[in-house]
């Protein structure tokens, strides 16, 4: 009887593992699509320029307050 229950559990585990693998593949594909969508919003130079300007403004505000 114990062997029969173990085989049922093993079969169920295999089914669940295969479903999880399919879900992970789906998540990876969706993440790749999302990344590709957002990667085309701004060019790299514009992102660097905004980062530098934000740091300068933060420094000026910090110097003015303290």
Residue ranges making up the domain that contains 15: 2-65
User: Can you tell me which residue has the tokens 């110097």?
Assistant: 63
- The alpha helices in 1-43, defined as continuous H runs, are 2-39
Quote the tokens at residue 65. 């307050």
Report angle CA 12, 13, 16 to the nearest 5 degrees: 85
**18-34: average pLDDT:** 90
| Residue-level pLDDT at 65 | 85
Domains in the chain: how many in total? 1
Mean per-residue pLDDT of the chain: 84
Torsion on CA atoms 37, 42, 47, 48, rounded to nearest 10:
120
| Residue-level pLDDT at 8 | 73
DSSP-derived secondary structure letter, 41: S
Query: 0.85 exceeded by the pTM?
Result: no
| Residue 1 pLDDT exceeds 60 | no
């Amino acid at each position: 009887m114990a062997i029969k229950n173990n085989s049922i559990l093993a079969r169920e585990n295999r089914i669940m593992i295969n479903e999880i693998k399919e879900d992970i593949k789906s998540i990876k594909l969706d993440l790749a699509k999302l990344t590709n969508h957002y990667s085309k919003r701004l060019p790299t130079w514009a992102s660097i320029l905004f980062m530098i300007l934000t740091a300068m403004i933060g420094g000026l505000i910090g110097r003015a307050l303290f």
